[in-house]
Amino acid sequence: MNAKKKWKVLIVGDQTLVREGLRSILSAADDIEVIGEEKDPLDAIRRVQEIDPDLILLDLSLERMEVLTALKGLRAHSPKAKILLLTVHKDVEYVLEAFKSGANGYCLKETSSAELLIAARNLLAGIPFIDPGVLEKLLTKSLQMHETASARTVLNVLSPREQEVLRLIGQRYKTREIADLLFISKRTVEKHRSNIMKKLALHRTPALVAFAIEHRLVNLGRGEETMEGMDKEGA
């Protein structure tokens, strides 16, 4: 009867105690075999060409750029291996840079042994892994970027001058005040307001104010007027 295949894992870490702990966790799994450990990233890059690991577990307490450089080197010399980065960093920008540099998985050092094995097996099965807490941050950031892009798309129907007028309307400035601030006539302001309403399919000043606030054209806080009061005054 054929022996069950074991996935080959290389541990790369600059702290002996951490490497030993990772080896202990991974070796407890009956489908994983730790075939090597390296302290230095350069030694690891040379080693991967000899042992051809299925998974590289990278845990380096170095500066971020050094870790990213190590990732790129390992990816270049071991294109088929899955790379799981173990780190303390939770910021979205670093996560994205890690994946751009060659990581297939992103795991926090605070993770449990069971979660680490789940991450490793996911990668070995061809499924990317991101720590759930970090993934939530990524999704939130993505939604914010989408909302910003959507707002810009909507605002693109307005000319720069119309956007400026809309911003001032959102800040509760009256028509005369807007005219004075922009050095244009009151009639021109009213014309801009009419064009803005047509383009945005909005029909009252309170709706323009709400739109400006929703699309972050203004900071809340100016003026004491209610939207109803503005509507009556025609702003």
CATH topology of domain 7-139: Rossmann fold (3.40.50)
Is the pLDDT reported for residue 80 higher than 80? yes
pLDDT given at position 146: 60
Q: What is the pLDDT of residue 220?
A: 54
Tokens of 121: 């097996």
Query: For residue 226, how far is the Cα from the chain centroid?
Result: 38
Q: The tokens of 13 are what?
A: 């870490």
The yes-or-no verdict on residue 138 having pLDDT over 80 is no
Q: For 81-90, 98-107, 134-143, which range has the lowest pLDDT when averaged over its residues?
A: 134-143
- Tell me, what's the pLDDT at 227? 42
Domain extent listing, the chain = 7-139, 157-233
Write the CA distances from 164 to 51, 65, 106, 201, 213, integer angstroms. Answer: 63, 41, 43, 18, 13
Average pLDDT over every residue of 134-144: 74
Least confident among 43-47, 202-206, 215-219? 215-219
Q: How many CB atoms lie within 10 A of CB 19?
A: 19
The answer, yes or no, to whether residue 228 has pLDDT greater than 50, is no
Q: Do the beta carbons of residue 186 and residue 176 sit within 8 Å?
A: yes
- The string of pLDDT tens digits covering residues 157-192 is 889 999 899 999 999 899 999 999 999 999 999 999
CATH number of 157-233: 1.10.10.10
Q: Are 196 and 168 in contact (CB under 8 A)?
A: no
The average pLDDT across 39-56 equals: 93
Banded model confidence at residue 233, pLDDT cuts 50, 70, 90:
very low
Percent of the chain with pLDDT over 90: 56
Confidence of residue 56 (pLDDT cuts 50, 70, 90): very high
Task: Enter the pTM of the model.
Answer: 0.61
**Cα pseudo-dihedral 127, 128, 129, 133, rounded to 10:** -120
Mean model confidence pLDDT for the chain: 85
